[in-house]
Amino acid sequence: MTDATPARQAPSRGLLARLPALPVSLVIGVLLLAPLAVAAVAGSWLAPYPYDEMNIMSRLQPPGADFWFGTDEFGRDVFSRTLVGTGSSLVMGVAATALSLLAGVPLGLVAGYKGGRAGEAIMRAMDVLMSFPPILLGILVLAVTPPAQWKAIVAIGIVYVPQVVRLTRAITLELMQEEFITAARLRGESAAYILFHEILPNIWPPLAVEASLRVVFAILLGASLSFIGMGAQPPSSDWGLMISEARPFVEQAPWIALCPGFALATAVIGINLLGDGLRSLLDPRNTGAH
């Protein structure tokens, strides 16, 4: 997700000339995500104040010259906290998606390529996982031990494994009908060779599209888990947690909730657009009825 760098090097003339060829949604998505990517990498360095510096003298200050987006109930600078929280909020979604791919792709490959009992067992296990509502599955995984952010990442990863398995299996089954796979089999290649050298390179484009959209759900689920106290823990400035902590003060100081809320919305819209753009770039079959 963070390799959305082209926009930052935009001034080069060659790229500008090629821009019209890229889908508009991809370009807008990258433009929205670029500042977030910068904030995620260099947030604590760019922030005007340390994210956890309390200053009781300036509690609940409205946005102004000193504090661009005001301060919270401990006098912490909301802008700095939102900036520093970018990493936590986005990493949660990206890491969870990566985990679900890491576990889901091999399972899907086996289920699709081997089929038989092993494949059946994998798919039925996925059915059970999918029978839980996503947030409840997350809660079930998390409620066992005291909450921590890495546990939330693992929980979200588990929640989205079934979708990855299903997609990988479906694409694998489709590829198995292709001639180049039959040819490889006739050549007497090993199953491992076919899986890793013939099938895997061909499933990544649809998986990349899927993953980019999955990241959005993962970020939102992560924010929801942090919001109900099962994700990032104080004094972290994860966006979901910030919004949760801002609730009691929402009438006096709405900016504490609004700033991370807008950041979250920017991230979600940006990734959605990026995903739409990727889809039209990588998967020409899917021109979309919408």
Measured from the CB of residue 28, what is the shortest distance to other proteins in angstroms? 13
Nearest to 72, CA basis, from 263, 254, 261: 254
287 lies in the binding site for other proteins (CB under 8 A): no
Measured from the CB of residue 251, what is the shortest distance to other proteins in angstroms? 4
Cβ nearer to other proteins, comparing 187 with 290: 290
Cβ nearer to other proteins, comparing 57 with 289: 289
Q: At 116, is the secondary structure helix, strand, or coil?
A: helix
Supply angle C-alpha 101, 153, 267, rounded to 5.
85
Q: Torsion over CA of 64, 75, 220 and 151, rounded to 10 degrees?
A: 160
Interface characters, 195-234, with other proteins (x: CB under 8 A) = -------------------------x--xx--xx------
Cβ nearer to other proteins, comparing 43 with 270: 270
274 lies in the binding site for other proteins (CB under 8 A): no
Q: How many CA atoms lie within 13 A of 44 on its CB side?
A: 10
261 lies in the binding site for other proteins (CB under 8 A): yes
Binder to other proteins among 145, 177, 192, 285 (CB under 8 A)? 145
Residue 235's identity, in one-letter code, is P
For other proteins, how many residues bind (rule: CB under 8 A)?
A: 37
* Six token digits for residue 197: 């050298």
24 lies in the binding site for other proteins (CB under 8 A): no
DSSP secondary structure letter of residue 46: H
Nearest to 10, CA basis, from 41, 36, 34, 46: 34
Cβ nearer to other proteins, comparing 147 with 205: 147
